[in-house]
Amino acid sequence: MIFQESGDKRGRAWPIYHLGQVVFAQGDLPNARDLFKEGMTLFQELNDKSGIAFGLDGFAKMACAEKKMERAARLFGAAEIVPEAARSPRNFWPVDRADYDRHIAAVRASLGEEAFAAAQAHGRALTMEQAIAYALENAS
């Protein structure tokens, strides 16, 4: 990969994240998890807030697929702590927005409104560093 050979972390981070999304959509959760971890590590090294937010969303969708709904709600909440200028649900591509909405609805329906709100608030209370650590340390 050209970006890897040149040491271009930014050039590597987004393709890795997007490949994780493709692999996730194909149902290959172990490989998607590995790609999300690698992408998040690069986003963290680069302090790429947009990448961090989308990475947290990726981990949240992973938790949803694994039926870890409280974890998913916390991660979706954590993704919201990234400054609004870096990322907003309004900035999603339409296909990404539909996917995001579908996962949020599944988590909300599974937990119920009160538990969903509490878990999401817990995620919002994390610092960005805590959110990244939570996503990376508990991504199994």
Residue pLDDT, tens place only, 57-105: 999 999 999 999 999 999 999 998 876 545 455 466 666 778 889 999 9
> What number is the average pLDDT over the span 6-16?
78
In this prediction the pTM is: 0.86
Distances (CA, A) of 45 to 13, 31, 41: 10, 21, 6
Q: How far is CA 7 from CA 2, 11, 40, 46, 50, in A?
A: 9, 9, 16, 12, 21
Contact 57, 93 (CB under 8 A): no
Q: Which residue has the higher pLDDT, 133 or 80?
A: 133
Distance from C-alpha of 43 to C-alpha of 18, rounded to nearest angstrom = 13
Q: What's the confidence (pLDDT) of residue 91?
A: 60
What percent of the chain has a predicted confidence (pLDDT) above 90?
68
